Amino acid sequence: MTECNQIETWVHAAQTGDRVALAKLLAMSHPRLQARAAAQLDPALKAKAGPEDVLQEVYLEVVRQIDQFEYRGPDSFLHWVSSILDHKLIDWRRAAHCQVRDIRRELPINALLTDSYWNLLDDLYAESGTPSRVVRRQEALAALLTSLLDLSDSHRQVIEMRFLNGLSVGEVAKRLNRSEDAVVALTRRALDALRESMDRQGDFTRGA
Protein backbone atom coordinates (compact mmCIF):
# COMPACT_ATOMS: atom_id res chain seq x y z
CA MET A 1 0.00 0.00 0.00
CA THR A 2 1.39 3.42 -0.97
CA GLU A 3 1.78 6.15 1.64
CA CYS A 4 -1.01 8.13 -0.01
CA ASN A 5 -3.42 5.20 0.16
CA GLN A 6 -2.35 4.38 3.71
CA ILE A 7 -3.05 7.89 4.93
CA GLU A 8 -6.45 7.90 3.23
CA THR A 9 -7.25 4.53 4.85
CA TRP A 10 -6.28 5.88 8.28
CA VAL A 11 -8.44 8.97 7.75
CA HIS A 12 -11.52 6.95 6.83
CA ALA A 13 -10.96 4.60 9.77
CA ALA A 14 -10.49 7.52 12.18
CA GLN A 15 -13.72 9.06 10.97
CA THR A 16 -15.57 5.88 11.92
CA GLY A 17 -14.22 6.03 15.47
CA ASP A 18 -10.94 4.09 15.19
CA ARG A 19 -8.69 5.82 17.76
CA VAL A 20 -5.62 3.79 16.78
CA ALA A 21 -5.96 5.03 13.18
CA LEU A 22 -6.27 8.57 14.51
CA ALA A 23 -3.17 8.06 16.65
CA LYS A 24 -1.27 6.92 13.56
CA LEU A 25 -2.19 10.14 11.77
CA LEU A 26 -1.19 12.27 14.73
CA ALA A 27 2.07 10.41 15.31
CA MET A 28 2.92 10.89 11.64
CA SER A 29 2.16 14.61 11.87
CA HIS A 30 3.52 15.28 15.35
CA PRO A 31 7.14 16.26 14.53
CA ARG A 32 6.03 19.01 12.14
CA LEU A 33 3.25 20.16 14.45
CA GLN A 34 5.62 20.26 17.40
CA ALA A 35 8.14 22.34 15.45
CA ARG A 36 5.39 24.68 14.25
CA ALA A 37 4.08 25.17 17.77
CA ALA A 38 7.58 25.77 19.17
CA ALA A 39 8.33 28.37 16.50
CA GLN A 40 5.08 30.28 17.03
CA LEU A 41 4.59 29.95 20.78
CA ASP A 42 4.36 33.41 22.28
CA PRO A 43 7.34 34.23 24.57
CA ALA A 44 4.88 35.21 27.29
CA LEU A 45 3.60 31.63 27.31
CA LYS A 46 6.87 29.74 27.21
CA ALA A 47 7.39 29.99 30.95
CA LYS A 48 3.96 28.46 31.53
CA ALA A 49 3.59 25.90 28.76
CA GLY A 50 5.47 24.02 26.07
CA PRO A 51 4.49 22.91 22.56
CA GLU A 52 3.05 19.64 23.88
CA ASP A 53 0.58 21.55 26.05
CA VAL A 54 -0.73 23.36 22.99
CA LEU A 55 -0.81 20.13 21.02
CA GLN A 56 -2.93 18.41 23.66
CA GLU A 57 -5.54 21.10 23.02
CA VAL A 58 -5.14 20.67 19.26
CA TYR A 59 -5.53 16.90 19.46
CA LEU A 60 -8.68 17.26 21.53
CA GLU A 61 -10.11 19.50 18.81
CA VAL A 62 -9.10 16.97 16.15
CA VAL A 63 -11.02 14.26 18.03
CA ARG A 64 -14.06 16.52 18.09
CA GLN A 65 -13.89 17.51 14.43
CA ILE A 66 -12.38 14.51 12.61
CA ASP A 67 -15.72 13.58 11.08
CA GLN A 68 -15.81 17.03 9.42
CA PHE A 69 -12.41 16.66 7.76
CA GLU A 70 -12.43 16.22 3.98
CA TYR A 71 -9.52 14.23 2.56
CA ARG A 72 -7.96 15.96 -0.47
CA GLY A 73 -4.59 14.27 -0.73
CA PRO A 74 -1.80 12.94 1.50
CA ASP A 75 -0.85 16.40 2.84
CA SER A 76 -4.40 17.56 3.53
CA PHE A 77 -4.59 16.10 7.05
CA LEU A 78 -1.40 17.86 8.13
CA HIS A 79 -2.62 21.13 6.62
CA TRP A 80 -5.96 20.78 8.40
CA VAL A 81 -4.41 20.08 11.80
CA SER A 82 -1.90 22.90 11.28
CA SER A 83 -4.79 25.32 10.77
CA ILE A 84 -6.33 24.13 14.06
CA LEU A 85 -2.96 24.65 15.74
CA ASP A 86 -2.67 28.18 14.36
CA HIS A 87 -6.12 29.08 15.71
CA LYS A 88 -5.28 27.60 19.13
CA LEU A 89 -2.09 29.64 19.28
CA ILE A 90 -4.10 32.80 18.54
CA ASP A 91 -6.45 31.94 21.40
CA TRP A 92 -3.52 31.34 23.76
CA ARG A 93 -1.91 34.67 22.82
CA ARG A 94 -5.15 36.53 23.44
CA ALA A 95 -5.58 34.84 26.81
CA ALA A 96 -1.97 35.48 27.82
CA HIS A 97 -2.25 39.20 27.11
CA CYS A 98 -5.61 39.72 28.74
CA GLN A 99 -5.05 41.19 32.20
CA VAL A 100 -8.40 40.22 33.66
CA ARG A 101 -8.27 36.53 32.72
CA ASP A 102 -6.02 33.65 33.68
CA ILE A 103 -4.82 31.45 30.83
CA ARG A 104 -5.36 28.36 32.93
CA ARG A 105 -9.07 29.19 33.09
CA GLU A 106 -9.29 29.80 29.35
CA LEU A 107 -8.32 26.27 28.36
CA PRO A 108 -10.33 23.06 28.89
CA ILE A 109 -7.15 21.24 29.85
CA ASN A 110 -4.68 23.11 32.08
CA ALA A 111 -1.38 24.29 30.67
CA LEU A 112 1.20 21.85 32.01
CA LEU A 113 4.98 21.64 32.20
CA THR A 114 6.29 19.49 29.37
CA ASP A 115 8.46 17.44 31.74
CA SER A 116 5.29 16.23 33.45
CA TYR A 117 4.36 14.17 30.40
CA TRP A 118 7.69 12.34 30.47
CA ASN A 119 7.37 11.79 34.20
CA LEU A 120 3.97 10.27 33.54
CA LEU A 121 5.49 7.90 30.99
CA ASP A 122 8.11 6.86 33.53
CA ASP A 123 5.44 6.27 36.18
CA LEU A 124 3.29 4.39 33.70
CA TYR A 125 5.93 1.74 33.07
CA ALA A 126 7.74 1.82 36.43
CA GLU A 127 6.30 -1.49 37.64
CA SER A 128 7.32 -3.46 34.55
CA GLY A 129 10.69 -1.74 34.28
CA THR A 130 10.21 -1.33 30.52
CA PRO A 131 9.47 1.84 28.59
CA SER A 132 6.58 2.30 26.22
CA ARG A 133 6.78 0.13 23.12
CA VAL A 134 6.53 3.33 21.11
CA VAL A 135 10.04 3.59 19.71
CA ARG A 136 10.67 7.22 18.82
CA ARG A 137 10.38 10.12 21.26
CA GLN A 138 7.94 12.20 19.24
CA GLU A 139 5.74 9.15 18.63
CA ALA A 140 5.74 8.36 22.35
CA LEU A 141 4.45 11.84 23.10
CA ALA A 142 1.83 11.73 20.35
CA ALA A 143 0.64 8.33 21.58
CA LEU A 144 0.48 9.58 25.18
CA LEU A 145 -1.56 12.65 24.27
CA THR A 146 -4.02 10.68 22.14
CA SER A 147 -4.23 8.00 24.82
CA LEU A 148 -5.14 10.63 27.41
CA LEU A 149 -7.93 11.81 25.15
CA ASP A 150 -9.13 8.21 24.81
CA LEU A 151 -9.75 7.89 28.56
CA SER A 152 -13.05 8.46 30.31
CA ASP A 153 -13.47 11.89 31.88
CA SER A 154 -12.96 10.56 35.41
CA HIS A 155 -9.80 8.65 34.47
CA ARG A 156 -8.29 11.57 32.58
CA GLN A 157 -9.17 13.95 35.41
CA VAL A 158 -7.48 11.90 38.12
CA ILE A 159 -4.34 11.36 36.01
CA GLU A 160 -4.06 15.06 35.25
CA MET A 161 -4.48 15.95 38.91
CA ARG A 162 -2.09 13.33 40.27
CA PHE A 163 0.64 13.08 37.64
CA LEU A 164 0.48 16.26 35.57
CA ASN A 165 -0.57 18.83 38.17
CA GLY A 166 1.30 17.03 40.95
CA LEU A 167 -1.50 16.98 43.53
CA SER A 168 -1.32 14.59 46.46
CA VAL A 169 -3.88 11.84 47.03
CA GLY A 170 -5.37 13.90 49.84
CA GLU A 171 -5.70 17.00 47.66
CA VAL A 172 -7.36 15.03 44.87
CA ALA A 173 -9.72 13.41 47.39
CA LYS A 174 -10.85 16.84 48.58
CA ARG A 175 -11.38 18.14 45.06
CA LEU A 176 -13.34 15.08 43.97
CA ASN A 177 -15.16 14.73 47.28
CA ARG A 178 -14.01 11.11 47.59
CA SER A 179 -12.11 9.12 50.18
CA GLU A 180 -8.36 8.69 49.73
CA ASP A 181 -8.85 4.93 49.25
CA ALA A 182 -11.32 5.65 46.45
CA VAL A 183 -8.82 8.00 44.78
CA VAL A 184 -6.07 5.39 44.99
CA ALA A 185 -8.35 2.78 43.39
CA LEU A 186 -9.48 5.23 40.70
CA THR A 187 -5.88 6.16 39.93
CA ARG A 188 -4.92 2.50 39.58
CA ARG A 189 -7.77 1.87 37.13
CA ALA A 190 -6.93 5.03 35.19
CA LEU A 191 -3.27 4.04 34.85
CA ASP A 192 -4.25 0.56 33.70
CA ALA A 193 -6.54 2.05 31.04
CA LEU A 194 -3.84 4.49 29.93
CA ARG A 195 -1.21 1.75 29.77
CA GLU A 196 -3.49 -0.47 27.68
CA SER A 197 -4.15 2.37 25.25
CA MET A 198 -0.44 3.15 25.00
CA ASP A 199 0.38 -0.50 24.36
CA ARG A 200 -2.18 -0.71 21.56
CA GLN A 201 -0.73 2.38 19.93
CA GLY A 202 2.81 1.10 20.47
CA ASP A 203 2.14 -1.80 18.15
CA PHE A 204 1.85 0.36 15.03
CA THR A 205 4.82 2.63 15.74
CA ARG A 206 7.11 -0.32 16.26
CA GLY A 207 6.33 -1.52 12.79
CA ALA A 208 6.24 1.90 11.12
Give the separation between CA 107 and CA 110, rounded to whole angstroms.
6
From first to last of its 208 residues, what are the pLDDT tens digits of the chain?
566 788 999 999 989 988 778 878 888 888 899 899 989 887 766 666 778 778 878 888 898 899 999 999 989 999 999 999 999 988 877 776 664 344 344 333 333 335 676 677 777 766 555 544 444 555 666 777 778 877 888 998 999 888 877 889 999 999 999 999 999 999 999 999 988 888 776 654 444 4
Helices (runs of H) and strands (runs of E) counted in the chain? 11, 0
Q: Which CATH number fits domain 112-208: 3.40.630.30, 1.10.10.10, 3.40.50.300, 3.30.1330.40?
A: 1.10.10.10
Tell me the per-residue pLDDT of 130-145, one tens digit each, with 9 for 90 and over: 544 444 555 666 777 7
- In this prediction the pTM is 0.62
pLDDT (tens digit per residue) in 53-64: 788 788 888 988
**What CA–CA distance (Å, rounded) separates 151 from 134?**
18
Are the C-beta atoms of 37 and 49 separated by less than 8 Å? no
Cα separation, 90 vs 115, in Å, equals 24
CATH T-level topology, domain 1-111: Rna Polymerase Sigma Factor; Chain: A (1.10.1740)
Residue-range domain boundaries for the chain: 1-111, 112-208
